[in-house]
Structure 1
Amino acid sequence: MAAHAAPVHVAVSTVIFALRPSPVDGRMTVWLPLVRRIRDPFVGMWALPGGPLEPDEDLAESAARTLAETTLLTPQYLEQLYAFGNTDRSPGERVVSIVYWALVRSDEADIAVESENVRWFEADSVPELAFDHSLIVEYALWRLRNKLEYSHIASAFLGDTFTLSELREVHEAVLQKPLDPANFRRQIEGSGQVVPTEQLRTGGRHRPARLYRYAATVETNGPLGRTEGAS
């Protein structure tokens, strides 16, 4: 008689990106919260927020629930990233993880709970993570940097309206390189991706700056509950 196949468990994990200042030089960089595992396997190691999929939950509902339970975050941008299911990714059992990614503004990130077992890390310098979560973070960063070039994804860090300086700062933080302000303005305005509004950003040390918004084209962001393939 053939042996019964081991059961396959489904989990949902989430990579949460926010822009926060680097403690080294104050430049904005990409950060994410991690949770410390308190049980085997990999007890004591850092991992992405997540957990088993409950029988009565949709995938996006599971991702939103575990985020709220571990970090108190309720991001408006929540998109399915990829499914990770190598047979050796979880010792002793077969686990397929459906991974989401979420983007939050800096002011939203500031309300996230931090404790001994929940902490923010710079995304490019995370410690060794449990399971294959280091690979997942690396893949999510690649997707973020790639998608920045052709979508409205920067608005998830900024809101509906923004100055071109604010938009450039997002690109610099995600791409981790300085961009010439004049060239960036010329390229962005020439691309037709953004359009000026009648509003101005006031109240700062500099003169009022024109606010822009993304043009009304086909939306490529992933609002809460909507998913996109990770090809």
Structure 2
Amino acid sequence: MAPRTRSLDSYPRPGITVDLAILTVTDADTDPVLRLLVQDRDSPAGRALPGGFVRERATIAETTLDVLSRKVGITLDVSVTPRLLRLFDDPDRDDRSWVMSAAHAVSLPEAALAGAKGDLVPVLPDGSLEGESGLLFDHDEIVSAAVADVRERYEFRGRSEGVAPDPDGFLGAPFTLHQLRKVHEAVVGDEMHKDNFNRRMKDGLRPVMRGGTPVASSGLRGRPATLYRRRQAGRRSATDE
């Protein structure tokens, strides 16, 4: 007698959500602060990251875009790719039901969040959120994972491989080395040695040139300083007419 096979419908199925840790750096060119988007919820009541359930026959990617559009009120630029942090699957993470979360981090420049629904809350040096007493579900854990993820890309100390200048594009070009360092410090949550930082960044930058002469900043505090752009892959020319 052939062994009986169980129908897939006989297995219990968890609900799947997509929760988004949306990161930005405000005032990136003057007084940068790493912030994360937090929203108010009604049911259950409290503070949480924007998120939504994966609907029938929808993909994770489609749900991510739906959450950004419907819950946050923004459209993601095609150049931005949400980063999957991991699957948060503690069976007790949601008191309402058995729910797993495909948590993502999304890094955006401040301008891309104009009109976004929610509050941009400062991230403290220890990775927690300023003034937040505890987010719903396990969203504090998602925040910690997202902050650790972005900081790993911005911190160069103790690493043998190079770190790209502002890899998530929080700072608009052109910029000075001072502005670039301040953004990295805002993300990492600690000060960096100026000379070491400048030396490590130079290979990934090209000066803005006009008529064969480097262009200096104007209208900024302090002495004029050379303006830079991120070096494009495979491009070695330092000319920007």
Mapped to 1, the partners of 2:98 and 2:61 lie a distance apart of 21
* Amino acid paired to 1:48: L
Match of 1:14 in 2: 20
Q: Which of the numbers 93, 107, 112 marks the counterpart of 2:115?
A: 112
Q: Does structure 2 retain, via aligned residues, the 8 Å contact 1:106–1:157?
A: yes
Do the aligned partners of residues 83 and 159 (structure 1) sit closer, same or farther apart at CA in structure 2, a change above 3 Å counting? farther
Q: Structure 2: which 5+ residue stretches go unaligned? A: 1-5, 156-162, 210-214, 235-241
Answering whether residue 221 of structure 2 is matched by residue 215 of structure 1, we say no
Q: Percent identity?
A: 26
- 1:71-112 CA distances to partner (integer Å, 9 max, x unpaired)? 323343322222211221122422121112111212333x13
Match of 1:138 in 2: 144
Q: Say what the alpha-carbon RMSD is for the aligned residues.
A: 2.8
After TM superposition, which residue ranges in structure 1, 4 or more long, deviate above 6 angstroms? none
Q: Distance in 2 between matches of 1:217 and 1:127?
A: 43
How far apart, CA to CA, are the structure 2 residues paired with 1:62 and 1:153?
Answer: 28
Q: Does 1:193 align with 2:204?
A: yes
In 1, are the aligned partners of 2:176 and 2:227 still within 8 Å (CA)?
yes
Counterpart of 2:91? 87
In structure 1, C-alpha distance between the alignment counterparts of 2:56 and 2:119, rounded to whole Å: 29
Q: Is the 8 A contact 1:75 1:103 kept in 2?
A: no
Bigger fraction of residues in strand: 1
Distance 1:81 1:152, change over 3 A: farther
Output the TM-score relative to the length of structure 2. Answer: 0.72
Q: Deviations over 1:17-63 (max 9, x none)?
A: 11136xxxx95321111122211xxx221111010112343322321
Structure having greater relative contact order (Cα 8 Å, sep ≥ 6): 1
Question: What is the total number of aligned residue pairs between the two structures?
Answer: 204
Give the TM-score taking structure 1 as reference length. Answer: 0.75
Q: Deviations over 1:177-230 (max 9, x none)?
A: 2234333212322xx232333265444455554332333449xxxxxxxxxxxx
Partner in structure 2 of residue 167 of structure 1: 180
Q: Give unmatched runs, 5+ long, in structure 1.
A: 219-231
What residue identity is the alignment partner of 2:99? V
Contact 1:101 1:140 in 2 (8 A): yes
Worse-matched range after superposition: 155-164 or 45-54: 155-164
1:156 partner SS: coil
